[in-house]
Amino acid sequence: AQKVTQAQTEISVVEKEDVTLDCVYETRDTTYYLFWYKQPPSGELVFLIRRNSFDEQNEISGRYSWNFQKSTSSFNFTITASQVVDSAVYFCALSDSSGGGADGLTFGKGTHLIIQP
């Protein structure tokens, strides 16, 4: 069965600090995809990144970076030089082929990130 664990319920940092959001996943499939979504206070869900299980290369997009490590089943997300606008709930999600390809996403419980000015 699929499972995504985001152990950090809430993180509060001061603006300009770096912050890492942890994500640990479980799946029996060898082919799977990992995602991060952002949910700002306005409530919409914004796609941030997708990573497949065969690509362990880290990715950087501006102030955002992602560290995928299959050995520890983790897909962590780091925000460098955080800004108040980064305040949101961040969800890590997993999708694998076990359900015939359309199981939908399995989400973690989310990490509420608070950036204080």
Partner 1 sequence: DTAVSQTPKYLVTQMGNDKSIKCEQNLGHDTMYWYKQDSKKFLKIMFSYNNKELIINETVPNRFSPKSPDKAHLNLHINSLELGDSAVYFCASSLGTSGFYNEQFFGPGTRLTVL
Question: Which long-range contacts link 101-106 to residues 24+ away (Cβ below 8 Å)?
Answer: 103/2, 105/35, 106/2, 106/3, 106/4
**Residue 45 touching partner 1 (CB under 8 A):** yes
Q: Please choose, out of 11-19, 42-50, 56-64, 72-80, the segment that lies near partner 1 by the rule CB under 8 A.
A: 42-50
Strands 10-14 and 111-116: what pairing? parallel
Question: Which lies closer to partner 1 via its Cβ, residue 39 or residue 73?
Answer: 39
Pattern 95-114, binding to partner 1, x per CB under 8 A?
A: xxx-xxxxxxxxx-xx-x--
- How far is CA 23 from its chain centroid? 6
- A 10 A CB-CB count for 115 gives 20
Residues engaged in binding partner 1 (CB under 8 A): 32-33, 35, 37, 39, 43-45, 47, 50, 52, 89, 91, 95-97, 99-107, 109-110, 112
